[in-house]
Amino acid sequence: MTTTSLTMAKALNAGLRKALENDPKVLLMGEDIGKLGGVFRITDGLQKDFGADRVIDSPLAESAIVGTAVGLAIRGYRPVCEIQFDGFVYPAFDQIVSQVAKLRSRTEGVYRMGIVIRLPFAGGIGAVEHHSESPEAYFAHTAGLRVVSCSTPHDAYWMIQEAIAHDDPIIFCEPKCRYWEKGDVDLDNPGRGLFEANRVREGSDVTVVAWGPSVKTTLRAAEVAATEGRSVEVIDARSVAPLDLAPLVASVKKTGRLIVVHEAPPTASMGADIIRRLSEECFYSLRAPGLQVSGYHTPYPPARIEDAFRPSVDRILDAIDRSMDYGL
């Protein structure tokens, strides 16, 4: 086993490099991703090593970036589009939901849509408006799109390669507040498939499901809860479309309690949908109603108060207390 310690940013860079090396049809496209290496330096050095015809500095036009990727995918290429910030994806929304999501089905598989749309998402970096969105539910709602999120450098390294190799279009959500955090990366073994959930902490009292930036916060809350005598099982969903339901069902049937943590607002959210599905599957095992710990149904706030908007250790602990207090 070959293991190295990388930040998530470096792990994504290494995964993109590997994909470029392994398949000459892989192309990277986005604003400032070439010479600059992207605003988060995820593509640093790749244009120098692979050339400007494979790591392409695009115009500031998200709809054009994704529209060009559709044409490239039809011709057999595997374009990887970087959307500079999550809130900038909306100009490309029509292309994504009307063309990217539907062309493989519309052509009965004649055209593959092997497109990856990289989306730095969620908050935690003190950014201005339109730079801290959590739009995963928009895309998960659209049949034909797959939506995944990494939470560790190891998953970042492997999941980006697996997404690029896939024939369906994938929205690849990267938690930007975790870009600079280090972790071990096993360079030989991915450990999990792209669409598989991962139990990252075993417990017996309550199941907490999270993804992306919320996984680490949830693990911190689980550690605190353990000092109070509460055993919290944490599952990293990793994929929200499709959702790997079986491990979640098994966990909730064991614990009898469910909490879902994410940064997006609670209304029409992935958390609400996960609670609905697990309530159906685990109705006779539940000892308390499913709870969400999420952002609020407001536009993302100014940086000085974003910590009050995002799920925190204290808010997760409060949800654990409320779930346990039902006493069923």
Catalytic residues: 131
Structure tokens, 178: 């975790």
The letter for the amino acid at 127 is A
Angle between helices 214-227 and 313-325 (to 10 degrees): 60
H helix count then E strand count, the chain = 12, 14
Those residues with Cβ within 8 angstroms of residue 220's Cβ, 6 or more apart along the chain or in another chain: 313
Cα 292 to chain center, whole Å?
Answer: 18
Q: Which ranges of 119-269 would DSSP assign to H, the alpha helix?
A: 136-140, 153-165, 214-227, 245-255
C-beta separation of 139 from 150 below 8 A: no
Q: How far apart are CA 155 and CA 194, in angstroms?
A: 9
Phi, psi of 278 (to 5 degrees): -75, -25
* Cis upstream peptide for 59 (omega within 30°): no
Strand positions, DSSP E, 105-202: 116-121, 146-149, 170-175, 182-186, 198-201
